A = this chain, B = another copy of it.
Amino acid sequence: MDGPDISVDLCGVLMENPVMLASGVLGETGPSLLEALEGGAGAVVTKSIGPSPREGNPNPTVVTLGDSLLNAMGLPNPGMEAYAEELEWLRQGSEAPVLASVFGTSPDEYAEVAARLAPLVDGIELNLSCPHAKGLGAEMGGDPAMLEQVVRAVVDVTDLPVLAKLTPNTGDIGALASAAERGGASGLVAVNTLRGMAVDVEMAAPALANTYGGLSGDALRPVGVRCVHEIAGMTSLPVVGVGGISNHIHALEYIMAGATAVQVGTAIRTDGPRILGRIATDLRDWLADHDHSSLADVRGILVRGGHR
């Protein structure tokens, strides 16, 4: 395409633009991943996949709160074997980059799933942060030592880049970032959802069957941008920014705060995944309007030490 260069090399994953589909939003089936790539995503991340099928939590699993959302899907997924078929189907239709999001209940389980899916993808994202599935994700991902073990276990079984997705439900995201770096991660993704709850006052009931869910969308953006800025200032790993992005200005907030690429989840609900391509186009136009020849001109300009 013409205009400023917005292509990205995310720890070896080459993307035409920095706008990725976030994990868990669509991405349970091959055709939905393909739709996101055709909609203009620079790369897609799969739904988080575990070793065996999981139905997730009972409904209601989502509550919309204006431009924000609470969800408690509970990591539904068809399991790595069935999911491998989805990826095989996708690979016949597209060569664009795909990251497999992986979760498990132990470092070994993470490694097992990553190893199974690795031949079919370009990178591994570790979901260390799902705030509403008991015994999974966040409980491991909130403890730096455990997080480091999980990362190391996965790095040991694959040559692909491994990105650790961090939880914002912590007093010290820097400690999590450092642990991931020590474990051998090639990159970081920040953030997953904040643990939240909504009450239906008329029904006198929690709005989610699971009571607690993860807060995403608009409300999350200030926390996500802060997390990216904090960790971009302290590690040398590339950071992918996620949380509340629904236009190119939001994407630029993250990029100026140090993000190499961004992911979009909740914002997909209005128009579907073509919003990914629109954000990329608007980003390019914005750079052109501001006389920048490349995204690199603005990336990380707010991070101590300047451009990254």
Contacts and interface: CB of A to CB of B under 8 A. Distances in A.
Interface string A255-280: 01100000000000000000000000
Interface stretch (A12-20, A31-39, A64-72, A116-124): A64-72
B222 A198 contact: yes
A229 B197 contact: yes
A253 B199 contact: yes
A195 interface: yes
A62 interface: no
Interface in A62-83: 65-66, 68, 70
Interface in A285-305: 298, 301-302
A222 to B, nearest CB: 3
Most chain-B CB neighbours within 10 Å: which of A171, A198, A222, A298?
A: A222
A256 B169 contact: no
Given A219-B68, A222-B198, A225-B197, A204 B142 contact: no
Interface residues on chain A, size class: 35 or more
Given A142-B171, A171-B142, A302-B204, A257 B223 contact: no
A1 interface: no
B225 A196 contact: yes
A201 B249 contact: yes
A133 to B, nearest CB: 15
Interface string A214-226: 0100111111011
A157 to B, nearest CB: 28
Interface of A: 65-66, 68, 70, 138, 142, 167, 169-172, 194-199, 201, 204-206, 211-212, 215, 218-223, 225-226, 229, 249, 252-253, 256-257, 298, 301-302
20 contacts: A65-B222, A66-B218, A142-B172, A171-B171, A194-B194, A195-B226, A196-B222, A196-B223, A197-B222, A197-B226, A197-B257, A198-B221, A198-B253, A199-B302, A201-B249, A206-B302, A211-B229, A211-B302, A212-B229, A218-B219
